Amino acid sequence: MAEDMEKTAGQPTKKPAKKKEKKENRIGKFFRDLKSELKKITWYSAHDTIQNSIWTVVALAVLTVLIGGVNWAFSSIIALIGG
């Protein structure tokens, strides 16, 4: 072991050479992989998407009214108290 250290003590170690892909190849591979992965997704139908969007807007409207009502109630109470 001491002999191994003596041989390499003053010499810089070489790192193994890495293969560098060209930037164009990496970008192309990314988009090919992306296309392949997008084909694996089970997409919702247009009807389901529209229905879920409508439910989301309705829920948003209801929550907006509720939060606005609570805000108005608390503001009124604070105004009555004299704040």
The pLDDT tens digits of the residues spanning 59-70 come to 999 999 999 999
Distances (CA, A) of 76 to 11, 65, 67, 71: 81, 16, 14, 9
Among the residues of the chain, which ranges form H helices? 2-8, 23-40, 46-81
Question: pTM here?
Answer: 0.52
pLDDT(80) > 90: yes
Say what the pLDDT of residue 25 is: 86
Q: Cα(32)–Cα(34) distance, rounded to whole angstroms?
A: 5
What is the chain's Cα-based Rg? Answer: 32
